[in-house]
Each structure stands twice: as structure tokens, then as C-alpha cells.
Structure 1
Amino acid sequence: MKRAKWFYHPIFIFIFSILALCTSLFLYIYWYMKVSTGLETLAQKFSIAPEQALKSETWVVILVLSILVGIILMGIFTIFVYNQKTLQLYRLQHNFINNFTHELKTPVTSLKLYLETFLKHDISRDDQLRYIRYMLQDVSRLSDNISRILDLARIESKSYGGEFVMSDLVQLTADFYGNNRHLFQNCQIRVHRPPGPSFLYPVNVSLFEMLLINLATNAIKYNRSGTPQVDISFELQKRNLHIHFADNGIGLEKGDIKRIFRKFYQVGRSDDMSAKGSGLGLYLVQSIARIHRGKISARSRGRDRGTTFTLRLPFRT
């Protein structure tokens, strides 16, 4: 006979502990009230002053016990929340390992197949070039995945190189996308230069470029249109500079907006756009934003209506 697994579930244990503590406190107070009533009747029978039989310190004891029980309840609740977060992180890591293993195995298998084809068959030059292009795409895919893992390790260990340099953010962004058009083929990336003075801000150039490439890659990867588009605009609001990255991708559901920046989290869908990548790209974006004393947020009007990511940086004119 199998044991009931629900009996060992953390939620059941948490609820059972809360009920046990509350019941104990209730029974103690109930018992005290019954005893107090009996002692008061006994004091009246033998003409004893009630304050001699029922000392006021007893209420202090009840108050202290109630506070202690409250502290215990808070401790149990904290442990419960921590345990649930640990379980959630374990599930995300498990999904990440499965998906990342697939991301590594698929291009390796493809490369092996092409190399065996070159070895066993005499193929034409046109076919050779076509297969070589496929192999280069697989190598690029492998390189991107490995780079994300290395970038994550560098950021979390705070061993990233480079200094913070005062830079014109508009010019830096435009130059990066202009000099790396080969990374974003068949994609329209437009940087809208606002009128007025430049937005100078201290940035770690290598990290900021990593943020830019991850946002653009995300917009291209989760996109059904024939030509992915990313419009980048700059807006000064009070003491903050807002950099908007608006794409024409598949959009986000409300439930996913707050989760997409978590480590290993992947947007799950029932169609062909589900669970792509390693779940690290937007986590890296958020980490880089924090390193620059900023915040990253997302908003979407719904499915197939695009997503706008907004990087907010503290800025003084």
C-alpha cells in the first residue's frame, strides 16, 4: 500500500502546524477562564479577596504567551515561504538543465550529421556551401548558449572586467547596433535620436552592450512576423531616463510579465513559440540594469501585440 504523499506536503504541514498552535492558544485561554471562574466562586464562598486569588500578573503571562505564539507563527510562515521558493527554484533549474541540454545536444548532433555526410559522400560545391552555412549556424547557436553561461558566472561572481565610462547612451546604442548588423540579419532595429542635449551616463560598455544584444535577440527569437522590428526611444521623466525597446513580437500574458526576469524562467506556450532558449537572457538584462543602478520592466498589450521593455536609469540634467 502506497503512502499518501499529500500527508508530507509542505502546505499540509504548514496548515497543520498553524491549526495546532492556534488550538493550543485557544485551549489555554479557555482553560484559564474556566479556572478563573472557579477560583472567583471559591473566593466568594470563603470571603477571600478576589485579587489575592487571581493576580493581575496572570494576564501578563497570557499576553507574553500570545506574543510568543505569534513569533512562532511568523517563524513557521517564513520557513514555509523559503521552502516554497526553494522548491520553485529547483523546478526552474530542473527545466533549465533539460532545455539547456537539448540546446547543446541538437546543434552537436546536427554538426555530426553534416560532417559524416562530408566524409561518406562526394557532394557538389553548392551543397557543400549550403551545409557549411548550416554548420556555422549551429556553431553560432552553441557559442551563444555557452557565452550566456559564462556571462552569468561573471556577473554573479562580480568578476566582470572594464570600468564605468561616461558615455552618450544614444550614440553608444546606435553605434552598437550599426556595427553589429550581421548579428541581427532580417531585423529592423531603429534608434530614435531625441532632440536636445546628449544623455551622458557612466556605463560599463561591455556589460551595457550585453544588455543590448540580449534585448534584441529576445525580440527576434519570440517573433512570428517576417521582419522583426525593434524601435528604441529615449525619454526623460523627472529624474529618470527611460530607454524603451518596443518590438512587434508575440507579446506577453499578464501572468508572465513579472516572472520573465527570473533566473531560468521560460515563457511556456502551447504553440511553436514555447520555451525557447536557456531562460537566462532577461535575467542577465535585469542584473546588468541593477549594476548600473537602474531597473528593467516590461509591458505588453497581449498576445501577438508586441512587448516593450523599459530600462530606467537615474539621471540628473
Structure 2
Amino acid sequence: LNTRVVTTEIFITLINIIILIRFIGSTSPEEFIFNGLVLLGVIMFSFLLIRSVLHEVRQREEISKLAEDLRVANAELKKLDQMKSEFVSLASHQLRTPLTVIKGYISMIQEGSFGKVADPLSDALRKIYISNETLINLVGDFLNLSRIESGKMKYTFEPTQMEGIIQSVFEEFMEVVKEKKLELRYENPETPLAKAMLDKDKFKQVIMNLVDNAVKYTPEGSVTLKIEEEKEKGNVLFSVSDTGVGMSKGELDGIFKRFSRGESGSKVNTSGLGLGLYLAKRIVTDHGGEIWATSDGPGKGSTFWVRVPVHI
């Protein structure tokens, strides 16, 4: 039995015994009637008190059982979520290898490694290359998401010249912007900037996601990449500006949330799941940096900024 119930019953029993003794020992009719009424009241009170205590004990037992059921269910959900993350990670790994091979072979064919390529075939290969690149980026996003959610995201930081990463991304997007008839510019600094402590592959994914986002949401016009050093603050500042659909203040507040796609962006026919900016923010934060976006409003383009500390 519950300790509280037993204690209550013992206390009530003692009180009732004391009142009963007084009732039996009454020496006058008035005292007999008074003690009888007191005894009756105490008995009723005892019954109500014990019932109340029993009800409370049952409620606590039900709550305790419910809490245990929830704990078991939560543990099961965590296990299933872990299995899901592991499956996504494994599937992403398995998909990435053949997609990378396809990309390599398409590049070799376009360069004429297997003979001269006719113009109609070259145009088809370019479209295949762009679609394959989209798949590679999507698989990379899923892989990074599963690593972040499972707490298995690992970084290899080393002093890195950020200009090299941006130049690489700039060159990789040339085919994409040609297809969309956009202008892609890179304002490369004249002198080398200070190095930053970066994981090259992870940080390249950040730049890829930002440029990809800018290109997707720019129906016409240009996308400009810029990098500069904030010597007074000890930072390197990178930005991606576009002349695209722009964003409202409300959209800017939630643009880095998982699976977020702005209302202005929904008017443009684009692929993607809204993971790129979420992953970019997580990775930049893990680098000790900042990432944010600015826009003058819908239809007025956007600029995404990334600031990371330089290597000392």
C-alpha cells in the first residue's frame, strides 16, 4: 500500500478511537449527544479524507504510468529517428558516388576526351550536367542534415584562403548561369586576404548553397560574388548579391529555418527542399561565424552575407 494512504488511515483510526472513548465515557445526556455528533462528524470527515487521498494516489499512479509510457515511446521514437538518419546517410553516400562518376564522364565528353562532340549533343550534355549537379547538391544537403541531426558532423579545420573556394564555386556555376542567361560576376580582391580556419569541403558547401539559392531565385539579371577583409574586426566577409525576387521583412526572419521557402520564392519555379540555407547557417555557426540576409523588399533582389574570423 502507498505510504501516504497507510499513514492517513492510522491517523484517522487514532482520532476515531479517541473520540469514541470520549463518547463512551460521557457522564451526562448533553455530553453524550455532543460527543456523539462529534464522533459522527469525525467518521464522515475520515471517510471523505481517505477517499480523497486514495483518489490523489490513483491519479499520481496514472500520471506516473503515463510518464513511463511516454518515456518508452520517446525512446522508441529516438531509436527510429536514429535509424532514419543512418538510412539517409547511407543512401546519400551510395548515391553520391555514381553521381560524381557521371559528372566526371560528362566533363570528359564535353572536353573531347572521347572524340569530337556535335553541337546538339553538347547542348544535351550541358543540360544533363546541370541536372546531375542539382542532384549532387541535394544529396550533399541530405547527408549533412543527417550528420547534424545525429550529432555526427565532424570538421577538419585548417588555415584556408577563402578566395580559392569561391573561385572554384564560381567556375562550377558557369554552365548553370549560361543555361539561365544570367550574368555571374566575381569581384576577386587584388591582394590575397588573410586565411580563415575552415573545413574546406563543408565551407564550400555553404558557398555552393548560397550561390545556388541566388541563381534559382533570379529569373533575369545578375549574381555577384564578393569577398573582402575586415582588418579592424579580424574577419573575412563574403557576400552573394542577386537581382532576383527579393524578400519581405517577414521572410527574412524565417529564411534560415529548416524546409523554409519564402513566399516571394514560391512564385518562381525552382527545385529544392528548403534545406540549403538551414545547413549553411549551422555550418557557419560551427565555424564561429555569422550568416544573415538583407533585401529591400520583394522584387528588389537579396544579399546573403557570411562573416568568419581570420586565422591568427
| TM-score using structure 2 length | 0.52
Aligned partner (choices 191, 196, 199) of residue 201 of structure 1: 196
Alignment of 1:174-213 (within 5 A): 174-178=167-171, 181-185=174-178, 186-196=181-191, 198-213=193-208
1:210 to 1:132, Cα distance in 2 relative to 1, 3 A: closer
Residue 246 of structure 1: how far off its partner (Å): 1.4
Match of 1:258 in 2: 253
Which residue in 2 is equivalent to 1:164?
Answer: 157
TM-aligned CA deviation for residue 310 of structure 1: 0.9
Comparing 264-273 with 214-223, greater Cα deviation is found at 264-273
Residue in structure 2 matched with residue 228 of structure 1 by the alignment: 222
User: What CA deviation, in whole Å up to 9, does each residue of 1:94-148 have, x standing for no partner?
Assistant: xxxxxxxxxxxxxxxxxxxxxxxxxxxxxxx999988777666655544443332
The AA in structure 1 aligned to 2:228 is F
Q: 2:212 — aligned with what?
A: 217
Aligned partners of 2:237 and 2:253: how far apart in 1? Answer: 19
Specify the alignment match of 2:139 in structure 1: 146
| 1:278 match | 273
C-alpha separation between the residues in 2 aligned to 1:274 and 1:299?
22
Q: Is the 8 A contact 2:185 2:224 kept in 1?
A: yes
- Letter in structure 2 aligned against 1:173: I
CA shift in 2, pair 1:155/1:251, >3 Å: same
Q: 1:189: how far off?
A: 3.2
Verify the 8 A CA contact 1:251 1:307 in the aligned structure 2: yes
Instruction: Please state whether the residue corresponding to 2:237 is helix, strand or coil.
Output: strand
Counterpart code for 2:159: M
Aligned residue number for residue 312 of structure 1: 307
Identical amino acids, percent of aligned pairs: 26
CA distance in 1, matches of 2:208, 2:268: 20
CA distance in structure 1 between the partners assigned to 2:210 and 2:281 by the alignment: 11
Contact 2:251/2:262, CA 8 A, preserved across alignment: yes
> CA separation of 1:160/1:199 partners in 2, compared to 1, >3 Å: closer, same or farther?
same
CA distance in 1 between partners of 2:229 and 2:189 (Å): 8
Alpha-carbon distance change, 153 to 308 in structure 1, aligned in 2, over 3 angstroms: same
Show the 5 A alignment for 1:238-249: 238-249=233-244
Equivalent residue of 2:166, what SS? helix
- Residues 193, 229 of structure 2: 8 Å contact kept: no
1:130–1:182 Cα change, 3 Å = closer
User: Structure 1: 5+ residue runs without aligned partners?
Assistant: 1-124
Please say if residues 162 and 206 of structure 1, whose CA atoms lie closer than 8 Å, have aligned partners that are also in contact. no
2:93 alignment partner in structure 1: none
* SS of the residue 1:265 aligns to: coil
CA contact (8 A) 1:170 1:199 kept: no
Counterpart CA distance in 1 for 2:275 and 2:303 is 18
Give CA-to-partner distance per residue, 1:135-172, whole Å, 9 cap, x none: 66655544443332122112333434662121111233
Checking the alignment, whether the CA contact within 8 Å between 1:296 and 1:310 is kept in structure 2 is yes
**Counterpart code for 2:185:** R
Specify the code of the residue in structure 1 equivalent to 2:283: I
Q: Does 1:290 align with 2:285?
A: yes
TM normalised by structure 1 equals: 0.52
Separation of aligned partners in 2, 1:242 and 1:132: 36
Q: 1:187 to 1:213 in 2, by over 3 A?
A: farther
- Higher-Rg structure is 2
Matches within 5 A, 1:26-105: none
**Contact conserved, 1:192 with 1:234, CA < 8 A, in 2?**
no
Contact 1:162–1:205 (Cα < 8 Å) also in 2: no
CA separation in 2, counterparts of 1:306 and 1:163? 34
Q: How many residue pairs end up in the alignment?
A: 192
CA 1:159–1:181 in 2, change beyond 3 Å: closer, same or farther?
Answer: farther
Which stretches of structure 1, 4 residues or more, deviate above 4 A after TM superposition?
125-143
Deviation readout 1:71-92 (Å, 9 max, x if unpaired): xxxxxxxxxxxxxxxxxxxxxx
Is the Cα–Cα contact under 8 Å of residues 217 and 265 in structure 2 kept in the other structure? no
